[in-house]
Structure 1
Amino acid sequence: MNDYVEYARYVTTEMTRNGYPKLCVARGDVDEATIAAFESALETATDERPLQRFFEDHPSVLAGELRANCRWVLPQADLGGRYVPDFLTARLDSGGMQWTLVELESPTAQLFTRDGLPRKELRKGLSQIQDWRNWLTANRDLARRARSDHGLGLIGMDHLASGIVIIGRRQHRSPTDQERLKSLIVRERVLIRSYDWLLEEARWRVALRGELAQDNAVMCEECVISGRTFQ
Structure 2
Amino acid sequence: MSIYKRNFFELNTEEKEILQQYRELDSQVSIKGIVQRKNTVDLHMKMLELYRKGPFILNVNSYFPNNFLNDIELATKNADYNIKLEKFIELIDKDVNEREVLNFIRDNEAHFIIGSILCNHTLYGHHDRYIFQEFPLPPNHQADFLIVGRNSMGFHFLFIELENPSGKITLKDGAFGETIRKGIGQVNDWKHWLDKNFSTLINVFNKYKNPTENLPSEFYEYDSTRMEYVVIAGRRKDFNDKTYLLKRESAKNGIKIFHYDNIIDETKWLLKTCSY
Q: TM-score normalised to the size of structure 1?
A: 0.74
Q: Is the contact between residue 15 and residue 154 of structure 1 (CA under 8 Å) also seen in structure 2?
A: no
Deviations 1:105-157 (A, max 9, x none): 01014443346643221111111111112111111221135636xxxx98625
**Larger Cα Rg: Structure 1 or Structure 2?**
2
Does residue 177 in structure 1 map to residue 229 in structure 2?
no
> d(CA) in 2 for partners of 1:117 and 1:205?
30
Provide the secondary structure at the position in 2 that maps to 1:76.
strand
* Partner in structure 1 of residue 142 of structure 2: 84
Where do residues 133-172 of structure 1 align in structure 2 (5 Å cutoff)?
A: 133-145=191-203, 147=206, 156-157=218-219, 158=222, 160=224, 161-172=227-238
Question: Structure 2: which 5+ residue stretches go unaligned?
Answer: 1-30, 34-57, 120-124, 208-213
* Partner in structure 2 of residue 72 of structure 1: 130
Q: Paired residues, what number?
A: 196
Q: Is the contact between residue 163 and residue 233 of structure 2 (CA under 8 Å) also seen in structure 1?
A: yes
* Partner in structure 2 of residue 216 of structure 1: none
Shift in alpha-carbon separation, 1:117–1:194, aligned structure 2, 3 A: closer
What is the deviation of 1:182? 1.5
* Partner in structure 1 of residue 189 of structure 2: 131
Q: Aligned partner of 2:230: which letter? A: I
Where do residues 45-124 of structure 1 align in structure 2 (5 Å cutoff)?
A: 45-56=95-106, 57-67=109-119, 69=126, 70-114=128-172, 117-124=175-182
Question: Structure 1: which 5+ residue stretches go unaligned?
Answer: 4-8, 210-218, 221-231
Does residue 205 in structure 1 map to residue 270 in structure 2?
yes
Does residue 41 in structure 1 map to residue 100 in structure 2?
no
Shift in alpha-carbon separation, 1:198–1:141, aligned structure 2, 3 A: same
Of 255, 265, 270, the match for 1:190 = 255
Shift in alpha-carbon separation, 1:115–1:203, aligned structure 2, 3 A: closer
Shift in alpha-carbon separation, 1:137–1:113, aligned structure 2, 3 A: same
Q: Is the contact between residue 163 and residue 232 of structure 2 (CA under 8 Å) also seen in structure 1?
A: yes
Let me know the Cα RMSD of the aligned residues.
Answer: 2.8
> d(CA) in 1 for partners of 2:95 and 2:136?
25
Deviations 1:9-55 (A, max 9, x none): 9xx65444xxx531213414553211211111111143211111122
> d(CA) in 2 for partners of 1:97 and 1:60?
19
Of 65, 68, 71, the match for 1:22 = 68
> d(CA) in 2 for partners of 1:45 and 1:26?
34
Deviations 1:148-189 (A, max 9, x none): 6xxxx98625462100000000012112221222222223x1
> d(CA) in 2 for partners of 1:90 and 1:14?
11
Q: TM-score normalised to the size of structure 2?
A: 0.63
After TM superposition, the structure 1 stretch with the greater mean CA deviation from structure 2, 25-34 or 69-78, is 25-34
